[in-house]
A = this chain, B = another copy of it.
Amino acid sequence: MNIKEIARKAGVSVATVSRVLNHPENVAPKTKEHILKVMEESEYIPNWFARGLNFNKTNTIGLLIPNILNPGYMEIAKGVEDVAHQKDYTTLLCNGENELDKERKYIDTLIKRRIDGIVLISSLLEHEDIMNIKKQEIPIVLIGENKYMSADVPLVRIDCQNGAYKAVKHLIENKYKDIAIIYGDTPEQENKRKLIGYKQALEEEKIIENPEYIIEVGNNIEEGYIAAKKLIDLKKPPRAIFASSDLLAIGAIDAMKDYEVKVPEQIAVIGFDNIQMANLIEPKLTTIAKPMHKMGVVGARLLFDIMDSKDNGDQIKPREILLQSKLKIRKSCGHKERIGEIF
């Protein structure tokens, strides 16, 4: 069933049929009605390719994420999708699986399919890959700390420094002074920022940094465990630990359990990320929550802004949008207040 047949059945020209599809205001109401009815009856669906060939637009954006099984990333993805869906765009979700090759292959696919824009979440792509995309004149925005970063690509990210600062401040407000940090996220940039935030908070309170209290590790539960063990074994162990990720914090708490150090009575632990698990372990983990969904929403909006301005031919300069994280008070820092929880 194609436009020609509809035209024939309706006794009009293909142009008129096409018009009711694209500029219905330019068609006489009566003819329009009639054609619409014929379309309905014939269950006509305009050929996607033929339209695309004319418009050169797919109404599709590509979204590359590192891991679709990670609910955190999917929250961002949902944010992107929500915006896209509302604008009648379809989202092509690509699972890079944290492998550069896979990511590259997906980008190729996206370019081949002539998607209208790309959102990259924490991707491993390098300068040349990004340049490839830009060469195709495909609007692009990065969400989260990507491996490649520069001022010429728009970026939405979390203010990790401030997040870390807030975390440590919270510890201090709860009368902890001997505060250690276990840090070591990928990517590097975030690490540094968190460390800076930590130092900033200490400094502000005139607490002198203790190098023994600063431990850099890889980002997983095991290393959190090991690091915490080290801290416990110090001559003068800290009274509180700021872990730069919930995974590390969970590892740390695990170590405390094994060595019978009470959390938070003897040592307080605060994490970062607010992963689901944080609310399930005992004691429930106080942590810094990142606005994942919002990142997606803001990133997608930014992308659409760029796409629009590209359509209008005006130049838009790449922006960096900084989103703030939020302190989520639970039990692991012994604070009196508590957020209401499900069970």
Contacts and interface: CB of A to CB of B under 8 A. Distances in A.
How many copies of the chain does the oligomer comprise?
2
Contact of A49 (B43, B46, B49, B78): B49
Contacts of A48: 52, 58, 112-114
Contacts of A251: 343
Q: Which 4 A-B pairs have the closest CB atoms?
A: A49-B52, A49-B53, A280-B280, A93-B93
Nearest to A75: B69
A56 B45 CA distance: 14
Contacts of A77: 68
Considering residues A50, A91, A254, A343, which has the most beta carbons from chain B within 10 angstroms of its beta carbon?
A343
Interface string A60-99: 0000000011010011011001000000001111010000
Interface string A234-258: 0000000000000000010010000
Nearest to A68: B74
Nearest to A62: B90
A205 interface: no
A277 B114 CA distance: 40
Nearest to A77: B68
A312 interface: no
A90 B92 contact: yes
Contacts of A225: 343
A276 interface: yes
Nearest to A46: B112
A221 interface: yes
Contact of A114 (B49, B95, B136, B282): B49
A221 B342 CA distance: 9
Nearest to A257: B343
Given A52-B49, A53-B49, A90-B113, A78 B74 contact: no
21 contacts: A43-B135, A45-B111, A45-B136, A47-B53, A47-B114, A48-B52, A49-B52, A49-B53, A52-B52, A68-B74, A68-B81, A69-B74, A69-B75, A71-B71, A74-B74, A81-B95, A90-B109, A93-B93, A221-B342, A222-B343, A276-B277
A316 interface: no
A128 to B, nearest CB: 13
A281 interface: yes
A135 B43 CA distance: 10
Contacts of A91: 93
Contacts of A343: 221-222, 225, 251, 254
Contacts of A282: 282
Nearest to A258: B343
A113 B47 CA distance: 8
Nearest to A52: B49
Interface string A30-53: 000000000000010111111011
Contacts of A95: 78, 81
A15 B93 CA distance: 35
Nearest to A221: B343
